[in-house]
Amino acid sequence: MSLDWFQKWALYSPEKIAIKEWNTKRALSYRELNRQAIQWSQYLLDRGFQKGDRLGVLSEFRLEYFILLGVAQKTGIILVPLNYRLSARELQYMTQDSGCKLLLMESQFTPDPNCPVPIDSLESFAEEASKVEMNELSCPKPEGQDPLFILYTSGTTGFPKGALYTHEMAIWNSLNTALRLEVNANDRCLQIMPPFHTGGWNVLSTPLLHFGASLILMPKFEPEECLRALAEESISLFMAVPTMVRMLSEAPNFEAADLAALRYFIVGGEALAIPLIEKWAAKGVPIRQGYGLTEVGPNVTSLNAEDAIRKRGSIGFVNFYYDWKLISEAGTEASTGEKGELWLKSPCVSPGYWNNPDATASSRKGDWFKTGDVLIRDEEGYLYLVDRLKNMYISGGENIYPSEIEHFLSLHPDILENVVVGVPDSKWGEVGCAFISSNAILNEADLRAYCEKGMARFKIPKHFVFLDELPKNTAGKIDRHALHSRFQQD
């Protein structure tokens, strides 16, 4: 079975625009996208690349990124999308861990001279690859279980984990998405999510490209400009995080924006406030909320738009091609209204983590993937996310794992103990609060400067609280719940 979507759509709809950049107006038809993917594939093969080699990419979404997606489908080269918001230290860990053979970097991002892999400018690479003579590729083709991406997620041990995302996962996730969100070739999607998240690739981008639809790329979120693009490009589907939904509704051109073509917003993360849902409904734009995770799907559940208010806070029902169950603390299947960890079984489940058999094994129970997320099911069968076993919190749409921050803070010579918890914030939904006990006099400015040297800015806690000693529970472990309550009381 061919896994080469662009080759198919180059035959079926050759002149149709597949990808367009909103800011530059550059565009690629399916014919041109396929042609360049063949040329780029040959260029990499000529440079010694083989099926299974890893190619790191540090770039915003742009036409060239999707040409590389075509390369991956034609050759079995594995893409490693890297987060341009991370520090050099964090990026170096990912490139070393994944064993990238080459790192393609957009010119706006400063190369790290200590990077352990060769660095090429994405722009110069594109120029040279486009000069390659068109020939039929002669190379082993990827199979369904071969990795398409290695997507790094924040880990619970202080280091990120590289989740394997296969070609088969992309196909089944696309089918799940199309069945629940009614995706078809006539859709037009404004893509504003970043490429280093599974959400940027797999909530809407890969499903729409699988179905021969069109993507409009906007690298940076600016509310007024986003509303203009939604209107002028006749966008039919749009994914946003709650902070973006609110900021769009507060933009000065919100009332005047013509969003008649927009069928609905797809919103992930924390639940939206009912007044915000109602404000968009009055604008004629329904809200569909859902749940997902990098290792599965990511499109796991969906809440119908007509239930957005009646079932506010729900993540809806599990999507089409999944088996699922909720497992209580007692190890039995949870009953209605009882908390249970969500377990999933599906061809959308990742085969595991790159170079990390222990993490892979701990995430499984036989054929079941243990999500680490605690849900409840109401009497009508609707699901609600009530807790995260891994203490993750969501800040402005970013999943943040406290243990990763805690690990870096623990390297500070004057910090004895630290714990980070997510606390409410009016702008970002949640932000980090670091509770610190120290053997020296520290202040917030010192710690913020320390964090900026080795941590992405969005991970740096907004609040720092200094205590003589951190509270412990009866097991002698730091009591996160007590610290969270203390912050709310203060």
Return the pLDDT at 188: 98
Q: At 466, which CATH number?
A: 3.30.300.30
Same domain, 403 and 273: no
**Is 269's pLDDT higher than 70?**
no
Return the pLDDT at 405: 87
What gap in Å lies between CA 365 and CA 343, rounded to an integer?
9
Compute the average pLDDT of residues 235-246. Answer: 91
Return the pLDDT at 158: 64
Highest mean pLDDT: which range of 20-34, 266-280, 418-432: 20-34
SS3 state of residue 471? coil
Residue type, 253: N
What gap in Å lies between CA 272 and CA 293, rounded to an integer?
19
Residue 25 lies in a domain: yes
**Is 388's pLDDT higher than 80?**
no
What gap in Å lies between CA 311 and CA 317, rounded to an integer?
11
Same domain, 37 and 155: yes
Residue 338 lies in a domain: no
pLDDT-derived band of residue 256, with 50, 70 and 90 as boundaries?
very high
What gap in Å lies between CA 458 and CA 224, rounded to an integer?
23
Give percent of the chain above pLDDT 70.
Answer: 96
pLDDT-derived band of residue 155, with 50, 70 and 90 as boundaries?
low
Q: Tell me what the pLDDT averaged over the chain comes to.
A: 92
- Domain count for the chain: 2
Beta strands 368-377 and 383-388 are: antiparallel
Tracing tokens 């504003």 back to the chain, one arrives at 192
Tracing tokens 């063949």 back to the chain, one arrives at 38
Domain interval for residue 401: 393-488
Helices (H), 356-470: 357-362, 402-410, 444-452
Return the pLDDT at 477: 66
Return the pLDDT at 211: 98
| pLDDT tens for each residue of 195-234 | 999 999 999 999 999 999 999 999 999 999 999 999 999 9
Listed range (65-74, 151-160, 415-424) with the worst mean pLDDT: 151-160
CA atoms within 13 A on the CB side of 285: 30
Same domain, 151 and 252: yes
Tracing tokens 């946003």 back to the chain, one arrives at 240
- DSSP element (H, E) containing 124: helix 122-129
Q: Which residue has the higher pLDDT, 299 or 309?
A: 299
Q: Which residue has the higher pLDDT, 157 or 351?
A: 351
Quick check: 272 and 299 in contact, CB under 8 A?
A: no
Angle at 291 between CA 289 and CA 292, to 5 degrees: 140
Strand partners, 431: 423
| pLDDT tens for each residue of 120-137 | 999 999 999 999 998 889
Residue 373 lies in a domain: no
Q: At 142, which CATH number?
A: 3.40.50.12780
Same domain, 265 and 406: no
Last residue of a domain, one of 267, 287, 302: 302
Residue 330 lies in a domain: no
Residue 482 lies in a domain: yes
Last residue of a domain, one of 275, 302, 329: 302
Same domain, 134 and 270: yes
Residue 42 lies in a domain: yes
Residue 118 lies in a domain: yes
Same domain, 294 and 399: no
Return the pLDDT at 48: 96
Compute the average pLDDT of residues 440-450. Answer: 91
Closest CA to 484 of 438, 432, 447, 408: 432
What gap in Å lies between CA 259 and CA 26, rounded to an integer?
23
Highest mean pLDDT: which range of 47-51, 151-155, 422-426: 47-51
Angle at 115 between CA 88 and CA 451, to 5 degrees: 15
What gap in Å lies between CA 478 and CA 257, rounded to an integer?
50
Strand blocks (E) in 62-195:
78-81, 102-105, 119-121, 147-153, 161-166, 188-191
Last residue of a domain, one of 261, 284, 302: 302
Angle at 269 between CA 265 and CA 273, to 5 degrees: 70
SS3 state of residue 424? strand
Same domain, 264 and 398: no
Quick check: 402 and 418 in contact, CB under 8 A?
A: no
| pLDDT tens for each residue of 83-94 | 998 888 889 999
Q: Which contacts qualify for 422-427: CB closer than 8 Å, 24 or more apart? A: 422/391, 422/392, 422/393, 422/394, 422/395, 422/484, 423/463, 423/484, 423/487, 423/488, 424/488, 425/395, 425/462, 427/243, 427/396
Tally of CB atoms within 10 A around 119 = 17
Closest CA to 217 of 415, 109, 208: 208
**Is 35's pLDDT higher than 70?**
yes
Compute the average pLDDT of residues 159-180. Answer: 95
| pLDDT tens for each residue of 340-353 | 999 999 999 999 99
SS3 state of residue 429? strand
Return the pLDDT at 392: 77
Residue 457 lies in a domain: yes
Give percent of the chain above pLDDT 90.
Answer: 73
Quick check: 442 and 448 in contact, CB under 8 A?
A: no
Same domain, 171 and 271: yes
What gap in Å lies between CA 247 and CA 267, rounded to an integer?
14
Same domain, 90 and 221: yes
**Is 376's pLDDT higher than 50?**
yes
**Is 474's pLDDT higher than 50?**
no
Report the predicted TM-score, pTM, of the whole model to 2 decimal places.
0.86
What gap in Å lies between CA 454 and CA 190, rounded to an integer?
33
